[in-house]
Amino acid sequence: MNPVTTAPPPRRLRADAARNQQRIIAAARELFADRGLEVTLDDVAEKAGVGVGTVYRRFANKQELISEVFDQMVTELAQAVDTALHHSDPWEGLVGLFEYSCRHMAANRGFGEVILELHDTMDRFACMKERIRPGMQAVISRAHQAGVLQPDIEAGDFFAMVNMVDGVAGFARTVNPDVWRRYSTLLLNAIRGDTVARMPLSPAPLTDDEVELAKEAACAARKR
């Protein structure tokens, strides 16, 4: 009988190599979020303060780096779901998770187009939902049991609401990057249990001038 062989465990990175990798990923996240597809690995190296060769030793191409950034973001979202689930107050846990999700979307506008560069994007999104959904459903169920959430609200509504807020964030980003918070609060007030006091709406809505400027920016972006 042939002996059973197993693959050796992955080698741990040296401390300096591990630090460089984290600097590269952090730089990539910031650049992808702000500038989207135009970012190159040379840009990432400059932002991270490392040599271009260091980036290419860790990531053979931009797709590998995008994949690493995406996986890190999914891990952080899973941690946020777990934090919400174990919050002492079911409503505050839900609010914290919703605000985290909206803030994350608003701050990473450019990454949405970047992730589409991956050939397995849809599979990745499906895996993300499978990883996040059970915890999200538990957060929703806990809020239902506490009577702080309208009984007909489901986990799918949560994801839809985040995308609604993201739509406002995308429209207003060039003129008022924080106004999405108002609509995040508005939606949360709309789904709270009737016995729970509503939160004050803040900041103020877009002014007429800001709306016109945002329209102009959106039109200019479509023409590019």
What would the pLDDT profile of 13-48 be if each residue is shown by its tens digit? 567 778 889 999 999 999 998 888 889 999 999 999
Residue ranges, comma separated, of all CATH 1.10.10.60 domains in the chain are: 13-60
What would the pLDDT profile of 99-119 be if each residue is shown by its tens digit? 999 998 888 877 877 887 778
Q: Taking all residues of the chain, what is their mean pLDDT, rounded to a whole number?
A: 87
In CATH, the architecture of 63-223 is Orthogonal Bundle (1.10)
**Fold entry, domain 13-60:** Arc Repressor Mutant, subunit A (1.10.10)
Please spell the DSSP secondary structure of 128-153, one letter per residue: HHHHHHHHHHHHHHHHHHTT-B-TT-
Percent of the chain clearing pLDDT 90 (strictly above): 50
Residue ranges, comma separated, of all CATH 1.10.357.10 domains in the chain are: 63-223
The pLDDT of residue 4 = 45
What does the buried/exposed string (b/e) look like for 65-79 if buried means 16 or more CB atoms within 10 Å of the residue's CB? bbbbbbeebbeebee
